[in-house]
Structure 1
């Protein structure tokens, strides 16, 4: 192929427009019409169309002008824009909730410490003061009256929402409940030897400390075992009824000791469950407003652990 058949270079074609069509270039079909002259349409700005113009490109049929107002779609479309202030608000909210939970735990354990101080003071009086001890043994009707008060006030505190939240009578009901259960515990303790009472107190305190440390350190969630605990409490009640019937006929003398050991284990599991409800970082937790219910649950568990342990220790010493 000769040199003349080669197409001109870019500089020659730019400076010498005299070059026509390339040699030997064949055209097929009719000649192409000249390009139409550009004239701005309605809503279009003069000049060449711009892809960034909101009135030049998107006002044509088939395009929605609302898309331009929202900007060009990107990979982050539909995802909320991250704001540094949102992260700070989230961290501050978590910090405030942590402070509220810690204040709630302190309030619960303060109420619990007051209840236990009253209860074990009554137990000590009923155990060491001989006239008081003989009085409660001689008049068991007061014990049954305190048992009725215990069940009534406990039902009110558990079932009524107002009693579990802030209202003027919640501490009054809790005080009546504490005195009733304290009298019951003192009356039961008066039937046992002083060594058995001290041994039960020591075992109960040790169990409570170990359970509290375990609940605050472990990652195992016991709050999801509520159904299992309900079943065990029902079985414990049935075993208690059977034990009471058997002991009347004195068929198995050691059966009450076995029942007491099972009861102590069951209420230890309840103590684990109710302690983790207070922590708040498990599957189930109680509201920080329900500090009365939190203290009530722990108090009932600890007292029942003491009473069941007292039966075991008393039977072992006797």
Structure 2
């Protein structure tokens, strides 16, 4: 009976939300505040990497030091993510590791933007904003009517594996601009699906102490959509 009970909160009735709607909405707001702060930090750091001439010249020079720094920046988010996920429910160390992870990802985003023109970056950012906002509104609207998107999990996991294999093939056997554009478009579609899936989990499934896990999922979805759109537009 509780499973099918409607819960009203701020105009939202979701049959899956059986706990206090006030607590659930507080949790959702907390996650979106964290994600917003992550995105602001990413914009600040990535803009610095892109706009400061000395930093830009250092990485574009492709010297051994620049290549070593590039590899370190790419690997750093993975290294930080391991203890962050292990300690994700321990406050305040989880927030400290989350901030460090965000900074590492921000540098990676900045490096990913170096080979793109400013107009293309702005266009990709605007398209990302529209896509994320539209899919978020749609997911809340669907949740209000009792729709469930948990079935997307296995399909999205399989799609990620395919993208990884495709990306590996692209590195070993480059297929030119067409292949890169196709990869960017497909990646954008896959991570758009993740926005729906992770927002659905935020509304219905994450417990109150999983705010770091929920924030990481949404943040990475948004970053991956941006980078996928940027890749497609750049080509």
- Provide Cα deviations, 1:70-112, integer angstroms capped at 9, x if missing partner: xxxxxxxxxxxxxxxxxxxxxxxx8962111111111101110
For 1:212 and 1:303, how far apart are their aligned partners in 2? 15
How many equivalent residue pairs?
A: 212
Give the structure 1 partner of residue 72 of structure 2.
145
Give the structure 1 partner of residue 43 of structure 2.
120
Is 1:205 the counterpart of 2:129? The answer is yes
For 1:260 and 1:156, how far apart are their aligned partners in 2? 30
Instruction: Decide whether aligned partners of structure 1 residues 222 and 137 sit closer, same or farther in structure 2, where only a CA change above 3 A counts.
Output: same
5+ residue gaps, structure 2: 1-16
Per-residue deviation, 1:125: 2.1
1:272 paired residue among 182, 192, 196 = 196
Is 1:291 the counterpart of 2:216? The answer is no
5+ residue gaps, structure 1: 1-93
Give the structure 1 partner of residue 58 of structure 2.
135
Is 1:173 the counterpart of 2:93? The answer is no
Is 1:192 the counterpart of 2:137? The answer is no
**Higher relative contact order structure (alpha carbons within 8 Å, sequence separation ≥ 6):** 2
Matches within 5 A, 1:18-37: none
Give the structure 2 partner of residue 91 of structure 1.
none
SS in 1 for 2:102: helix
Give the structure 1 partner of residue 158 of structure 2.
231
For 2:117 and 2:68, how far apart are their aligned partners in 1? 22
Give the structure 2 partner of residue 154 of structure 1.
81
Kept in 2, the 8 Å contact 1:127–1:194? The answer is no
1:110 paired residue among 33, 40, 58 = 33
For 1:98 and 1:119, how far apart are their aligned partners in 2? 31
CA RMSD of aligned residues (A): 1.7
Kept in 2, the 8 Å contact 1:157–1:293? The answer is no
- Provide Cα deviations, 1:267-304, integer angstroms capped at 9, x if missing partner: 11111100111111xxxx11111000000100111011
Higher helix proportion, which one? 2
Instruction: Decide whether aligned partners of structure 1 residues 166 and 97 sit closer, same or farther in structure 2, where only a CA change above 3 A counts.
Output: farther
For 2:58 and 2:139, how far apart are their aligned partners in 1? 41
- Provide Cα deviations, 1:112-162, integer angstroms capped at 9, x if missing partner: 00000010112222333322221232313222112221112223333x2xx
Structure 1 moving runs of 4+ over 4 Å = none
Instruction: Decide whether aligned partners of structure 1 residues 142 and 313 sit closer, same or farther in structure 2, where only a CA change above 3 A counts.
Output: same
Per-residue deviation, 1:253: 3.7
Per-residue deviation, 1:165: 1.0
TM-score (norm 2): 0.85
Kept in 2, the 8 Å contact 1:196–1:313? The answer is yes
Per-residue deviation, 1:252: 3.9
Per-residue deviation, 1:191: 1.4
For 1:178 and 1:107, how far apart are their aligned partners in 2? 17
Give the structure 2 partner of residue 66 of structure 1.
none
Give the structure 1 partner of residue 171 of structure 2.
244
